[in-house]
C-alpha cells in the first residue's frame, strides 16, 4: 500500500518511481490513491460508533483528483477561502458537507457559500459574526454558525502552526465566545449550529485536544443552561504524521480520548484532518543536476527548489530524502541537498548521507501535504506536475506548467516603445 521498497527500489503502489521520473520528468509530485483512501478510512472507522463527519482540510492538498477521491468516499471538507469552495464544488464535493473556516472571509465569499448551501461557517471574530448576519439578511437566508473558540491550550507544536493560544490570530477566547453566542441568538440572519476549536497542526499528543474539549464543553453546558442548544461539535484537525522519528498517537487512542468526554451527548462530531490523510501519501521526485564540492562542503544540487517545496525553507522542516534506486558503486557523502533558486534558504535537506551521482533521482518523502499547494513561480520556474498512482496506472492530475503559462494574464504596455 502506498510507497514501499522492492528489491531496494522505491515504488508507488505497483509503479517504480524511477519509471515515473523517466516518463514524466522531474520535479514531480506523486500521490498514492491507496494511501489516501486508507488514511481517510482510518479516521472514519476510529469514530465509526458515533455520528460524525470527516471534513478534509483542503489547504493541505487541493488537487481536484484528491478532492474527487475523497468526495467519493463520502468526505466532507474544511475550507478557508472562496477559491477552496469552488475547488470542492468542481471536484464533485457536497456543499452540505463543507465547513468554512478562516479569519478574513469577505462579503463575496460569504454570499457564495450561502448560495452554495454549506454546512456551517466557523466564525472567528465578533466583526465577522456581524458581517455574516448582515450578508445573510440581504440574501434572505440564515447563516449556519459555529463559533471557533480559542481555548488557550498549548499544542506543543511549531509556533508557525500553533493556532489555539490566545496570542494566535485564530478564534475567540471563551469569555468572548460566551458573549458572541448570546448576541448571535438574537440575530435574524444567524442560526447557531455548533461550537468548535482547532489548536494547531502536527500534534503528537492527544492531551491538548482533550484539554481543549473539556474547556469547550464547559462553555457548551453554560450555553445550554441559558437555552442555547447546539447540534455539532467541531474538534478541528491537526493530528501529526511521522516525518523522521515522531510518534503520533494512534487514531484509536485519539478517538477514545475524545469519545470518553462526549459520552451521553447527542451532538454530531466534525473532524478536520488534512496532513494526516495526505501527508505520507505523496513524494516529490527531483533529479541531481550537479555534485559540488567546495572546500569541505558537499552539495547535491537538484532541480527542485523552495518554490516547489517550501516547508524546509519556511519551517526548517525535515523530510526524508532518498535515492529512488540506491547505488552500490558510489560511496555515501554527507550532502547539503540544495535547489536552483537564488536564495540561501533554498535547501531541501541538510547533512544527508547519500551515495549519488549526477542524474540520479531522489524522492523527498512525506510531501503529500503542504507541498504542491504552497508552490510558486519564484525565479520564473514553472510548477511541477501532480501524478496520482492507482495500482499500476499513473494519472496526470495536474500537467506540468509551460513557460508561457508563467505570464498568463499579464499584459505588455500598449503603444510605441
For the chain, the maximum distance between any two Cα atoms, rounded to a whole number of angstroms, is 75
Residues 285 and 258 in one domain: no
Which member of 186, 225, 342, 413 is catalytic? Answer: 342
What Cα–Cα distance (Å) separates residue 172 from each residue in 8, 106, 146, 162, 196?
A: 51, 18, 12, 15, 11
Residues 233 and 312 in one domain: no
Instruction: Label residue 333 by pLDDT band (50, 70, 90).
Output: very high
Q: Residue 191: give its domain's CATH number.
A: 3.20.20.10
Residues 294 and 228 in one domain: no
Mean pLDDT for the chain overall? 94
Q: Are 21 and 300 in contact (CB under 8 A)?
A: no
Alpha helices for 141-298 (secondary structure H): 174-185, 207-225, 251-262, 275-278
Beta bridge partners, 196, equal 148, 234
Helices H / strands E in the chain, number of each: 11, 21
Name the pTM for this structure.
0.94
Which set of grid coordinates corresponds to residue 93?
464535493
Q: Are 212 and 175 in contact (CB under 8 A)?
A: no
Q: Residue 378: give its domain's CATH number.
A: 2.40.37.10
Residues 222 and 366 in one domain: no
As a whole number, mean pLDDT of residues 35-39 equals 98
Would you state the pLDDT for residue 168?
Answer: 59
Would you state the pLDDT for residue 158?
Answer: 41
Strand 98-100 to strand 120-123: parallel, antiparallel, or no bridges (unpaired)?
parallel
Residues 254 and 312 in one domain: no
| Structure confidence by residue, pLDDT tens digits, 289-318 | 999 998 888 999 999 999 999 999 998 999
Q: Are 288 and 356 in contact (CB under 8 A)?
A: yes
Residues 332 and 235 in one domain: no
249 phi, psi to nearest 5 deg: -65, 150
Share of the chain above pLDDT 90, in %: 86
Predicted confidence (pLDDT) at residue 159 exceeds the cutoff of 80:
no
Share of the chain above pLDDT 70, in %: 96
Residues 113 and 246 in one domain: yes
Among 238, 254, 271, the domain-final residue is 271
Is residue 91, in this structure, part of any structural domain at all? no
Residues 201 and 242 in one domain: yes
Predicted confidence (pLDDT) at residue 237 exceeds the cutoff of 70:
yes
The Cα 65–Cα 19 span in angstroms is 22
Is residue 256, in this structure, part of any structural domain at all? yes
Residues 106 and 243 in one domain: yes
Among 219, 244, 271, the domain-final residue is 271
Active site residue 342: yes
Residues 196 and 111 in one domain: yes
Would you state the pLDDT for residue 156?
Answer: 53
What domain range includes position 201?
A: 102-271
Residues 118 and 256 in one domain: yes
Instruction: Label residue 160 by pLDDT band (50, 70, 90).
Output: very low
Instruction: Spell out where 66-189 has E strands.
Output: 76-79, 98-100, 120-123, 143-150, 172-173
Which stretch of 61-65, 157-161, 398-402 has the lowest confidence by average pLDDT? 157-161
Is residue 413, in this structure, part of any structural domain at all? no
Dihedral angle sign, alpha carbons of residues 111, 117, 122, 126: positive
Instruction: Label residue 72 by pLDDT band (50, 70, 90).
Output: very high
* Residue 355: partners with Cβ closer than 8 Å, 6 or more residues away: 323, 326, 327, 328, 330, 331, 332, 333
Predicted confidence (pLDDT) at residue 31 exceeds the cutoff of 60:
yes
DSSP state of 366: S
Helix (H, G, I), strand (E, B) or coil at 59: helix
Residues 201 and 302 in one domain: no
Instruction: Label residue 154 by pLDDT band (50, 70, 90).
Output: low
94 phi, psi to nearest 5 deg: -85, 115
Query: Backbone dihedral region of 285: left (phi > 0), alpha (psi from -120 to 50 degrees) or beta?
Result: beta
Instruction: Label residue 109 by pLDDT band (50, 70, 90).
Output: very high
Predicted confidence (pLDDT) at residue 202 exceeds the cutoff of 50:
yes
Strand 386-390 to strand 28-32: parallel, antiparallel, or no bridges (unpaired)?
parallel
Predicted confidence (pLDDT) at residue 198 exceeds the cutoff of 90:
no
Would you state the pLDDT for residue 155?
Answer: 57
The Cα 35–Cα 59 span in angstroms is 18
Among 271, 288, 307, the domain-final residue is 271
Would you state the pLDDT for residue 12?
Answer: 98
Number of domains making up the chain:
2
Amino acid at each position: 500500500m502506498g510507497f514501499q521498497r522492492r528489491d531496494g527500489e522505491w515504488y508507488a503502489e505497483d509503479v517504480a518511481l524511477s519509471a515515473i521520473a523517466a516518463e514524466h520528468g522531474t520535479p514531480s509530485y506523486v500521490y498514492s490513491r491507496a494511501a489516501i483512501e486508507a488514511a481517510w478510512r482510518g479516521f472514519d472507522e476510529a469514530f465509526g460508533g458515533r455520528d460524525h463527519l470527516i471534513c478534509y482540510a483542503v489547504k493541505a492538498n487541493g488537487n481536484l483528483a484528491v478532492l474527487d477521491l475523497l468526495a467519493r468516499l463520502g468526505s466532507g471538507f474544511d475550507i478557508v477561502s472562496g477559491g477552496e469552495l469552488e475547488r470542492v464544488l468542481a471536484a464533485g464535493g457536497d456543499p452540505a458537507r463543507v465547513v468554512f473556516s478562516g479569519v478574513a472571509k469577505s462579503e463575496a465569499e460569504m454570499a457564495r457559500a450561502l448560495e452554495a448551501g454549506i454546512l456551517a461557517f466557523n466564525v472567528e471574530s465578533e466583526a465577522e459574526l456581524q458581517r455574516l448576519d448582515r450578508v445573510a439578511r440581504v440574501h434572505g437566508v440564515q447563516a449556519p454558525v459555529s463559533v471557533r473558540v480559542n481555548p488557550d491550550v498549548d499544542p506543543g507544536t511549531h509556533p508557525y502552526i500553533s493556532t489555539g493560544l490566545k496570542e494566535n490570530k485564530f478564534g475567540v477566547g471563551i469569555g468572548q465566545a460566551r458573549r458572541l453566542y448570546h448576541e448571535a441568538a438574537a440575530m435574524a440572519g444567524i442560526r447557531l449550529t455548533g461550537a468548535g476549536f482547532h489548536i494547531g497542526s502536527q500534534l503528537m499528543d492527544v492531551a491538548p485536544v482533550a484539554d481543549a474539549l473539556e474547556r469547550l464543553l464547559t462553555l457548551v453546558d453554560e450555553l445550554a443552561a441559558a437555552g442555547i442548544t447546539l447540534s455539532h461539535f467541531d474538534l478541528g484537525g491537526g493530528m501529526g504524521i511521522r516525518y523522521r522519528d515522531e510518534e503520533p498517537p494512534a487514531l484509536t487512542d485519539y478517538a477514545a480520548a475524545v469519545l470518553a468526554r462526549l459520552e451521553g451527548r447527542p451532538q454530531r462530531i466534525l473532524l478536520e484532518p488534512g496532513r494526516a490523510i495526505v501527508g505520507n501519501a505523496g513524494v516529490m521526485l527531483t533529479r541531481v543536476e550537479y555534485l559540488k564540492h567546495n572546500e569541505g562542503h558537499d552539495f547535491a544540487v537538484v532541480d527542485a527548489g523552495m518554490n516547489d517545496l517550501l516547508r524546509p525553507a519556511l519551517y526548517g522542516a525535515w523530510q526524508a530524502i532518498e535515492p529512488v534506486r540506491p547505488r552500490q558503486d558510489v560511496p555515501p557523502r554527507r550532502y547539503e541537498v540544495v535547489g536552483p533558486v537564488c536564495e540561501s534558504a533554498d535547501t531541501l535537506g541538510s547533512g544527508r548521507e547519500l551515495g549519488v551521482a549526477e542524474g540520479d533521482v531522489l524522492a523527498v518523502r512525506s510531501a503529500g501535504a503542504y507541498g504542491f499547494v504552497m508552490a510558486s513561480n519564484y525565479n520564473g520556474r514553472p510548477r511541477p506536475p501532480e501524478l496520482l498512482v492507482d495500482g499500476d496506472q499513473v494519472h496526470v492530475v495536474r500537467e506540468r506548467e509551460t513557460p508561457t503559462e508563467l505570464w498568463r494574464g499579464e499584459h505588455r504596455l500598449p503603444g510605441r516603445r
